[in-house]
Amino acid sequence: MIFDKDIFFTKKFLDSDAIYVKLEKAGYIKQISSGLYAYLDPFNKLLKNICSQVCNIFSEYNFCQVNLPLLQDINLWKNSGRLDIYGSGLFTTGENNEFVINATNEEAIVNLADLLNIESHQLPFCAYQISERARNEIRPAYGLVRTKTFVLADCYAIVNSKTDAQKYTDIFKQVFQKISKKFNLPLHQAIHLGHENTFSVWSESQLNQSHPIVCKNCHSSFRGKEMLERCPICGSSEVERVIGAEIGDIATIKQLIKTKNINNTYIVFMGIGISRLIQLIAENKVHANGFDWDYFYAPYKAYIVASPARKSEAQKIYASLSGKMETIYDDRPTSIGAKLIDADLLGCPYKIIVGKNTSDDFVEIKRNNKTTKINSSLVLQYIQDNQ
Ligand SMILES: [Zn+2]
């Protein structure tokens, strides 16, 4: 992108700002009203890159990607008995409220399996989708963590034995471990006390949105209203409440709605709040002047700035990087210093300075605190070699 007028809406943030305020000041999101956020260009690119990594992990397990409609027949929810359970948490629409706006897909996925004439011997059937959802959240809070609309990756395994339900619960737990490793974000699986095979996935966070109970001895975590005296796993009395934020869950539900072909089904569910995940990654990747995204998911890989005398060289470098990696050429009529402040706020891994400090044909490339001088014709090669 050529940045010749202000299109990124950045401003310096304070150390004391909450992470979602920092994301807003860095030009990633804009709050529209309580619980509703617009995703701006940098956020959308981040979202796309992170979703693609999550899809890669899902592919390792042969989960099929589907896209179910935004509107679901309300009768599916009446038949499953969950319309009353979710109550006002669901948005409904239509002339006679005959539709539920997609908040979760257990009913819809079983209905789809039924319409596809999937029979018991074809199970397990495992499908996922990643899309925007709506939930009538009455107390939106914590930025992207509790909102009325959000991006969810939800995966459903329809199985017909308790053994397979356990198997998919374990697979889904592995998926969260892979996500944790991929984004270098410690994720923990809190056991729901009193609910078999139900887990909340959480991370340490200053947001103070959830308060899991953690065993200092075996590091197991638990979710429950009552404080535990002892850890149910190892028996240690060294248990404490910590502060964190939840990004997803795993649960098993016994047959929700009757189908033509499948009996005794269980649905194992895994939900990953992608917009929540991004905010938690951001919390781990923020520093005093901006973000320090890993190269593989950074929204923009390179940021070019130039002194007025060397614009044509900068344009050449931009042309060499365009189409190979997301690149910003900052051509605004302002100082290199001011431009680099924005490059930091946006979190571009590589900053290419075509300035006065280097003689013709040479440029500076900055990555973190390291500066390298190279020939301008080698910029693409250098980034590809180092990433
Ligand atoms: Zn323990």
Residue that the structure tokens 């909340």 belong to: 200
How close is the Cα of 229 to the center of ligand 1, in Å? 11
- Is residue 335 scored above 90 in pLDDT? yes
In a 3-state reduction of DSSP, which class is residue 118?
A: coil
Give the pLDDT confidence of 294-305 residue by residue, as tens digits: 999 999 999 999
* Amino acid at the residue 168: Y
How close is the Cα of 278 to the center of ligand 1, in Å? 30
- Is residue 361 scored above 90 in pLDDT? no
Give the pLDDT confidence of 261-293 residue by residue, as tens digits: 887 789 999 999 999 999 999 999 999 999 999
Q: Which of 110, 180, 144, 159 is nearest to 34 (CA)?
A: 144
| Cis peptide bond prior to 299, omega within 30° of 0 | no
Confidence (pTM): 0.94
How close is the Cα of 280 to the center of ligand 1, in Å? 26
- Is residue 129 scored above 80 in pLDDT? yes
Residue 196: predicted pLDDT? 85
Residue 4: predicted pLDDT? 86
Give the pLDDT confidence of 237-249 residue by residue, as tens digits: 999 999 999 999 9
Residue 247: predicted pLDDT? 96
Residue 1: predicted pLDDT? 92
How close is the Cα of 216 to the center of ligand 1, in Å? 7
How close is the Cα of 272 to the center of ligand 1, in Å? 26
Q: Which of 53, 18, 44, 112 is nearest to 346 (CA)?
A: 44
- Is residue 254 scored above 90 in pLDDT? no
How close is the Cα of 167 to the center of ligand 1, in Å? 24
Q: How far apart are CA 13 and CA 97, in angstroms?
A: 44
How close is the Cα of 230 to the center of ligand 1, in Å? 8
Give the pLDDT confidence of 349-358 residue by residue, as tens digits: 999 999 987 7
How close is the Cα of 184 to the center of ligand 1, in Å? 24
- Is residue 23 scored above 80 in pLDDT? yes
In a 3-state reduction of DSSP, which class is residue 129?
A: strand
How close is the Cα of 171 to the center of ligand 1, in Å? 23
Compute the average pLDDT of residues 366-375: 93
User: Which residues make Cβ contacts (< 8 Å) with residue 75, sequence separation at least 6?
Assistant: none
Higher-scoring residue by pLDDT: 120, 16: 16
Please give the class, per CATH, of domain 19-208+243-287: alpha beta
How close is the Cα of 284 to the center of ligand 1, in Å? 26
How close is the Cα of 369 to the center of ligand 1, in Å? 41
How close is the Cα of 193 to the center of ligand 1, in Å? 14
Residue 256: predicted pLDDT? 74
- What is the residue-averaged pLDDT of the chain? 94
- Is residue 373 scored above 80 in pLDDT? yes
How close is the Cα of 254 to the center of ligand 1, in Å? 29
Compute the average pLDDT of residues 164-185: 97
Residue 359: predicted pLDDT? 74
How close is the Cα of 231 to the center of ligand 1, in Å? 5
Residue 258: predicted pLDDT? 74
Q: How far apart are CA 48 and CA 41, in angstroms?
A: 11
How close is the Cα of 238 to the center of ligand 1, in Å? 8
How close is the Cα of 166 to the center of ligand 1, in Å? 22
Compute the average pLDDT of residues 56-65: 96
- Percent over 70 (pLDDT), the chain: 100
User: Which residues make Cβ contacts (< 8 Å) with residue 100, sequence separation at least 6?
Assistant: 71, 72, 73, 74, 76, 77, 83, 90, 91, 92
How close is the Cα of 191 to the center of ligand 1, in Å? 12
Q: Please state the domain extents for the chain.
A: 19-208+243-287, 300-386
Rounded to 5°, the CA angle 52-46-12 comes to 170
How close is the Cα of 237 to the center of ligand 1, in Å? 8
The domain 300-386 is classified under which CATH number: 3.90.740.10, 3.40.630.10, 3.40.640.10, 3.40.50.800? Answer: 3.40.50.800
Compute the average pLDDT of residues 308-329: 95
